[in-house]
Structure 1
Amino acid sequence: MKIELGQHIIEFHVEYGPRKKLSIHIDPSGLMTVKAPNHTSDDVVMSAVKQHGSKIVKQLQAIEAARTAPKVREYQEEGKFLHLGKYHALHELIETNGRTEEELQHDLKKFYFASCKKVIGERIKIYQKQLKVTPKSYIIEESRTKWGSCSSAKHLTFNYRLAMAPIEVIDYVVIHELCHLLHMNHDRSFWRRVGSVMPDYKEKEAFLARYGQAMTL
């Protein structure tokens, strides 16, 4: 099926089955599927998609942005860099006038660290209430191997590059680490707890696995 959302034409597949509620899923490649109860009319499906139109377009744009990430970073005013799932010209993120390339690289990384700390702090406040947990502290660091971690002493660590990801992907990493305050390993209880807050967490995992390499300097 197809639907026009603003200036965008969105194609999606409808999957009918013995379910009670209609839900919308977008995989990391941008394929959108509407899962609907048997005998759901086309009008009801279209209405549901329109209702979530802005969120759908935003998610699809983030996926496309990650897919078309530039391979060479251009540290100049119009160089493109990811921030919260969208590309921005460098001068929209930091001051560029009179700065050398080395200074721009330093300032941009500093911007990401600050942005990540702010956003992570805001999201922790939201989800720690839902999960009824309280971390002792959290820090932002640079890592090539992990997006986040949780120590046995309840200290959380997050990768500064998360500031480049869509907010819902950041939410997944925050939820993941907060759930480790309840379950230190990745057993079934852990994943059930993650899923209770974010049912589509596997899509966020897949997004990081597929597009995480584009989230770099």
Structure 2
Amino acid sequence: MAVNTPEYHDGHGFIAEIVRTSRRKTADIRVEEGAVSVVVPTDTPLEKIDQLLKAKRTWIRDKIALHQSLQPASDKAFVSGEAFSYLGRNYRLKIETGHFAPVKLVQGRLRVQVPEDGNKPHVIRNALVRWYKRQAEQKLAEKVNRYASAVGVKPAGVRIKTFKSRWGSCTIDGVLEFNWKILMAPNRMVDYVVIHELCHLIHHDHSAAFWREVERVMPDYEACKAWLRQHAHGLEL
């Protein structure tokens, strides 16, 4: 499979992520969690993508509005100077005006560049969600590789998901799935979630034997478990 680096297109009210791949012969527009992505064959010209987005603009905006209406009320304003947690440390958001550029952590700031008409809370939030998900793909894969040998297992893969009320899961075929929001927690809490799911490859329940396995690898797991239970409500965008 050949998948290129994503491009971004100003949809006037939303930012569409363009993903080019050799696996597709037709274009596909997706609106997931209020974020718009267009998956297209590798050689699709920008003019055709623009026409497709214009034709679907009403449908896209309706989908975005539906997601916003279903989102729990956020205490975030998504404005410059606001703090967002990453691995337990707070970083200030810096919003700049120009052609869209995705969030980057630069000199202790979470920088994002958006068109003048794109400086809206849902656009900034979607840019941050995309950033957290990309960090999660990298960080959680690294942690799974690091701890798998300590647990003594070989997972079939790692996926990043959005869960409403859990931090991770282990599928029947051995794939570990993690909630990207865990990256807002301190690093040790992320370690606990990874070890927890790795141990499910040995014990598929929460029996005494399962918790003994978790404790063997992470003796302080109970403190991490308690921290997450107490602070889960704050790990939101």
TM range (shorter): 0.5 to 0.7
Within 5 Å, give how 1:8-157 maps onto structure 2.
72-91=75-94, 92-96=109-113, 98=115, 99-101=118-120, 102-157=122-177
Unaligned runs of 5+ in 1: 1-70
Unaligned runs of 5+ in 2: 1-73, 95-108
Counterpart AA for 1:129: S
Counterpart AA for 1:95: V
Runs of 4+ deviating beyond 6 Å: none
Q: CA deviation at 1:201?
A: 0.4
Q: CA deviation at 1:80?
A: 1.1
TM-score w.r.t. length of structure 1: 0.65
**Contact map agreement 1:135 1:156 (CA 8 A) in 2:** yes
Larger RCO, structures 1/2 (Cα 8 Å, 6+ apart): 1
- 2-side partners of 1:138 and 1:215: how far apart? 21
1:113-169 per-position Cα deviation (integer Å, ceiling 9, x unaligned):
011111101100110011121110111111111100001210111001011011110
Corresponding pairs, count:
147
1:98-126 per-position Cα deviation (integer Å, ceiling 9, x unaligned):
44222211100001101111110110011
The Cα RMSD (Å) is 1.3
- 1-side partners of 2:235 and 2:113: how far apart? 21
Instruction: Give identity over the alignment, percent.
Output: 32
Q: CA deviation at 1:79?
A: 1.1
In the superposition, relative to structure 1, how do residues 87 and 100 fare at CA in structure 2: closer, same or farther (>3 Å)?
same
More strand by share: 2
- 1-side partners of 2:151 and 2:135: how far apart? 24
Confirm whether residue 184 of structure 1 aligns to residue 204 of structure 2: yes
- 2-side partners of 1:93 and 1:193: how far apart? 38
- 2-side partners of 1:96 and 1:191: how far apart? 45
